[in-house]
Amino acid sequence: MPKEATWSVVELLDQVKEGREIGKEELAKLHRLAALEMPSDEEGLQRTKRDLEAMIGLVDAVRSIEVEKGNDVGVGRIWPEGRFQRLSEGQPAEGSKETLDRDRLLGLAKRTERGFYVVDRPKGEPSE
């Protein structure tokens, strides 16, 4: 495990070129997948587009970092001796009672919309 940082987010941000351009159709698809409403004005659309393009540029920059094999960082979870977390698909985690169906869980929610949970913004939190 490395004893000091192998790269710097600050340096990476300085190196980030603009991300690839996002078209209106792709922007609409991302909003639909995230269950968000598209900004209604051109200024909001451009700001959202610019922010997403910058994020994509950062993700591309992080992906471009070359990591030497064998320098993998281990999982930092600590479990009591004799206990572990199952990571195999289809097997319930140790101590779990049951696995609930997605539709059943949605049915328990106070509010849903188009298959998504609707969570009210906490009081006092500003909206954009």
**Banded pLDDT at 89 (limits 50, 70, 90):** low
Q: 33-66, pLDDT tens digit by residue?
A: 999 999 999 999 999 998 888 888 888 877 777 7
pTM for the full model?
A: 0.45
pLDDT at 48: 93
Question: In Å, what is the CA distance from 64 to each residue of 88, 118, 124?
Answer: 29, 36, 40
Block residue for tokens 């188009």: 114
| Segment 2-16, tens digit of pLDDT | 778 777 777 777 766
How confident is the model over 64-75, as pLDDT tens digits? 777 777 656 666
Q: What b/e sequence results for 108-128 when a residue is b if at least 16 CB atoms lie within 10 Å of its CB, and e otherwise?
A: eeeeeeeeeeeeeeeeeeeee
